[in-house]
């Protein structure tokens, strides 16, 4: 295509954008619905969709689409939501303009819908998309969306739950006010979601991040331990997770044990946490290694005065392993020796328990 043809094509495309925008702004409800469909279709079907998003926003379509979210017709709400989602995708400025135009209150109302699950799922996706822009997070956080997203963790569709986790993760990792404190009721559905996903996935990283936030309150700790297989799921994450999810999981177990060693020590030991923690002292990030060592110290059945710190114990065992294996496999041998030593210590403690 030469420059003249390209220019002609661009003029034709701009004319079409202007016509669709005019129908949306000035048409009746049926015309607006059709225009919203055409906006979505045009963005989805063009290679230059990024430029088309910018052109539609410049033509003034965002405000009327936001107003359609309050329509009495469910069809109008749905098509406007889909159009806004397409306009917001991969465009920070459009995301911010959608929120500035007042989209959050009607989206929060849609999150409450029980009988129209498709609209609720679309609203969840919209909250997720808009929360990706840091400037939008304070508005969303103070809108009442967070408790509704927590409800969706339990009763939403699979996609709705995934989107709710990611939206909550976006909101809780924000440095802006207000800082979100998650309700303890989120613990059970988050544990259930963590059970079902691959522990090294990005989704597991977000889920464990939310669980770590919940574990900072006494109610949250209790909810995590009362969830079926709650501690076991965290132990499995330490064993099979990525560095990020492993770090969050060990942080939760450490928070439990530090809050009440007598209450949580046996619960953690009974789920077989020792092997994963030992591996973490060698293979984890610097932060995870320190947390794993501290947790291992708390899990030992000795008084603080007699307790040999994990770091000193590891050093001694590594030196022994180096003498046995030379420089070939001391880390692997040390791990086996450490596991055996700690397990023997745990078995001794169990045999003394009445």
Q: Residue 264: which CATH number? A: 1.25.10.10
- Asked if 254 and 232 sit in the same domain, the reply is yes
Same domain, 222 and 309: no
Going by C-alpha positions, the residue among 181, 209, 178, 204 that lies closest to residue 193 is 204
Considering the domain architecture, whether residues 259 and 272 belong to the same structural domain is answered as: yes
Residue 315 within any structural domain of the chain: yes
CA proximity to 140, closest of 113, 121, 167, 166: 167
Q: Which of 263, 212, 214, 259 is nearest to 237 (CA)?
A: 212
d(C-alpha 160, C-alpha 291), whole Å? 33
Write down the mean pLDDT value for the chain. Answer: 88
Q: Please report the pLDDT score of residue 251 as a whole number.
A: 98
Q: State both tokens at 128.
A: 């997720």
Lowest average pLDDT, out of 105-109, 192-196, 236-240, 309-313, goes to 309-313
Report d(CA 333, CA 312) in Å as an integer.
Answer: 17
pLDDT average, residue stretch 112-121: 83
Residues 196 and 277 in one domain: yes
Cβ-based neighbours of 350, under 8 Å, separated by 6 or more: none
Q: Is 321 exposed, middle or buried (0-12, 13-18, 19+ CB in 10 A)?
A: buried
Write out the residue range of the structural domain in which residue 335 sits.
305-339
Joined tokens for residue 151: 């409800």
- Across 340-346, average pLDDT: 53
DSSP label at residue 180: P
Instruction: Tally the domains of the chain.
Output: 2
217 with 327, same domain: the answer is no
Does the residue 352 lie in any domain?
no
Residue 5: predicted pLDDT: 81
**Residue 319 pLDDT:** 57
pLDDT band at 181 (very low <50, low <70, confident <90, very high): confident
Write the pLDDT tens digit of every residue in 283-310: 899 999 999 999 999 998 654 544 445 5
- The per-residue pLDDT for range 70-100, each reduced to its tens digit, is 999 999 999 999 999 999 999 999 999 999 9
Tell me, rounded to whole angstroms, the distance of Cα 32 from its chain centroid: 35
Element (H, E) at 61: none
* Domain assignment of residue 214, yes or no: yes
Find the helix packing angle between 49-58 and 3-26, rounded to 10°.
50
Q: Are residues 281 and 330 in the same domain?
A: no
Based on the fold, state whether residues 221 and 259 are members of the same structural domain: yes
Q: Tell me which DSSP letter residue 302 carries.
A: S
The 10s digit of each residue's pLDDT in 303-322 is 454 444 555 555 555 554 56
* The pair of three-digit structure tokens given for residue 2, joined into one six-digit string: 């030469």
Higher per-residue pLDDT: 18 or 175? 18
Per-residue confidence band for 325, with pLDDT thresholds at 50, 70 and 90: low
Per the domain annotation, does 153 fall within a domain?
no
Query: What angle do the packed helices 202-214 and 218-226 form, to 10 degrees?
Result: 130
Q: Cis before residue 302, ω within 30 degrees of 0?
A: no
C-alpha closest to that of 339 among 289, 285, 281, 287: 281
Q: Mean pLDDT: which of 41-45, 198-202, 333-337 is highest?
A: 198-202
In a domain, 139, yes or no: no
Using the 8-state DSSP alphabet, how is residue 63 labeled?
A: H
Q: Which two tokens stand for residue 314?
A: 């590891």
Task: Tell me which DSSP letter residue 271 carries.
Answer: T
Answer yes or no: is pLDDT of 239 > 90: yes
DSSP code, position 301: S
Q: How far is CA 55 from the centre of its chain?
A: 32
Per-residue model confidence (pLDDT) at position 194: 98
Instruction: Report the distance separating Cα 114 and Cα 95, nearest Å.
Output: 26
199 close to 208: Cβ distance less than 8 angstroms = no
Burial class (CB in 10 A: 0-12, 13-18, 19+), 325: middle
Contact 186, 171 (CB under 8 A): no
* E strand spans, 75-231: none
Angstrom distance (rounded) from CA 56 to CA 43:
9
Q: Which residue has the tokens 């996706």?
A: 125
Contact 23, 10 (CB under 8 A): no
Residue 349: band (very low, low, confident or very high) from pLDDT cuts 50, 70, 90: very low
Q: Does 317 lie in the same domain as 284? A: no
For position 300, what pLDDT does the model report? 85
Residue 353's pLDDT band, with cuts at 50, 70 and 90, is: very low
Q: Output the CA torsion sign for 248, 253, 257, 260.
A: positive
Integer Cα distance of 36 and 24 in angstroms: 7
Q: Are residues 232 and 325 in the same domain?
A: no
Q: Read off the pTM.
A: 0.84
Residue 329: predicted pLDDT: 59
Whether residue 174 has pLDDT greater than 80: no
For the segment 242-261, what is each residue's pLDDT rounded down to a tens digit? 999 999 999 999 999 999 99
Give CA–CA dist 77/72, Å, rounded.
8
């Amino acid at each position: 295509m030469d420059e003249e043809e390209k220019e002609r094509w661009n003029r034709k495309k701009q004319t079409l954008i202007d016509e669709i925008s005019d129908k949306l702004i000035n048409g009746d409800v049926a015309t607006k619905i059709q225009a919203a469909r055409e906006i979505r279709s045009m963005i989805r079907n063009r290679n230059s969709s990024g430029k088309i998003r910018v052109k539609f926003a410049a033509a003034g379509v965002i405000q009327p689409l936001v107003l359609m979210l309050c329509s009495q017709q469910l069809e109008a709400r749905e098509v406007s939501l889909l159009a806004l989602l397409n306009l917001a995708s991969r465009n920070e400025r459009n995301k911010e303009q959608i929120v500035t135009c007042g989209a959050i209150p009607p989206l929060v109302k849609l999150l409450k819908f029980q009988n129209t699950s498709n609209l609720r799922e679309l609203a969840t996706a919209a909250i997720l998309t808009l929360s990706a822009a840091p400037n939008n997070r304070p508005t969303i956080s103070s809108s009442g969306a967070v408790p509704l997203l927590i409800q969706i963790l339990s009763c939403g569709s699979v996609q709705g739950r995934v989107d709710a986790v990611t939206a909550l993760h976006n909101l809780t990792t924000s440095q802006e006010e207000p800082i979100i404190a998650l309700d303890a009721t989120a613990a059970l559905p988050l544990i259930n979601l963590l059970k079902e996903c691959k522990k090294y996935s990005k989704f597991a990283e977000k889920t464990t991040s939310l669980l770590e936030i919940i574990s900072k309150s006494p109610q949250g700790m209790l909810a995590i331990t009362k969830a079926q297989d709650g501690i076991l799921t965290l132990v499995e994450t330490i064993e099979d997770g990525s560095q990020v999810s492993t770090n969050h999981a060990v942080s939760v177990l450490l928070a439990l044990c530090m809050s009440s060693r007598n209450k949580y020590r046996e619960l953690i030991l009974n789920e077989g946490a020792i092997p994963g923690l030992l591996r973490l002292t060698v293979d984890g990030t610097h932060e995870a290694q320190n947390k794993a060592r501290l947790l291992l110290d708390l899990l030992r059945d000795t008084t603080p005065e007699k307790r040999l710190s994990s770091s000193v114990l590891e050093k001694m065992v590594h030196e022994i392993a180096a003498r046995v294996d030379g420089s070939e496999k001391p880390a692997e041998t040390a791990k086996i020796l450490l596991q055996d030593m700690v397990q023997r210590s745990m078995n001794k403690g169990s045999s003394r328990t009445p």
